[in-house]
Amino acid sequence: MKGEKGFESLNMVPFIDIMLVLLTIVLTTSSFIASGRIAVNLPSASVEPVQEKETEVLEIDAAGTIFHGGEPVPLAALRTKFEKLDRETPILLRADKTLALQVFVDVADLLKSMSFSRLAVQTEARRGG
């Protein structure tokens, strides 16, 4: 192996260049992480108030009577009352905790079959348990 040149030294300049590029990347990204966000100057537009739909409240007492607007409503009549409403109308369902589950399921099933997508069930927070 007469024509081969021995390994005498290592050229460090390319390694130093790579390290400086990596250091620049780390310092640049760490400033974004430290501030938690990137500063963006947002454009402005006219502000129109968002029309929030009024929440419909359905209440079911311990006896299984369904109320809408304080008036008792049979399950069959509930469908005709709610047919006129937009399907995005929020509905709050308040049911007595001692109520037979079947009445609650019937009302929830009716609302689901009518494609209401914003249904909430009101509960109370448990204390000490």
CATH number belonging to domain 56-121:
3.30.420.270
Check whether 129 has a pLDDT greater than 60: no
Q: What is the pLDDT of residue 45?
A: 67
Q: How is the chain classified by DSSP, letter by letter?
A: --SPPP------HHHHHHHHHHHHHHHHHHHHHHHSS--------------PPPPEEEEE-TT--EEETTEE--HHHHHHHHTTS-TT--EEEEE-TTS-HHHHHHHHHHHHHTT---EEE--------
Q: How is 85-109 classified by DSSP, letter by letter?
A: S-TT--EEEEE-TTS-HHHHHHHHH
The model carries a pTM of: 0.56
What is the tens place of the pLDDT at every residue in 69-110?
Answer: 888 999 888 888 888 888 888 998 888 888 888 888 898 899
Tokens standing for residue 1: 């192996």
Question: How far, in Å, CA of 66 to CA of 104, rounded?
Answer: 9
- For residue 14, the tally of other CB atoms under 10 A from its CB is 9
Check whether 18 has a pLDDT greater than 90: yes
Average of per-residue pLDDT across 12-38: 79
Question: How far, in Å, CA of 36 to CA of 46, rounded?
Answer: 28
Q: What is the pLDDT of residue 20?
A: 93
Check whether 67 has a pLDDT greater than 60: yes
What is the tens place of the pLDDT at every residue in 119-128?
Answer: 888 877 766 6
Average of per-residue pLDDT across 112-123: 86
Question: How far, in Å, CA of 127 to CA of 99, rounded?
Answer: 21
Q: What is the pLDDT of residue 85?
A: 86
Average of per-residue pLDDT across 50-68: 83
Domain boundaries, the chain: 56-121
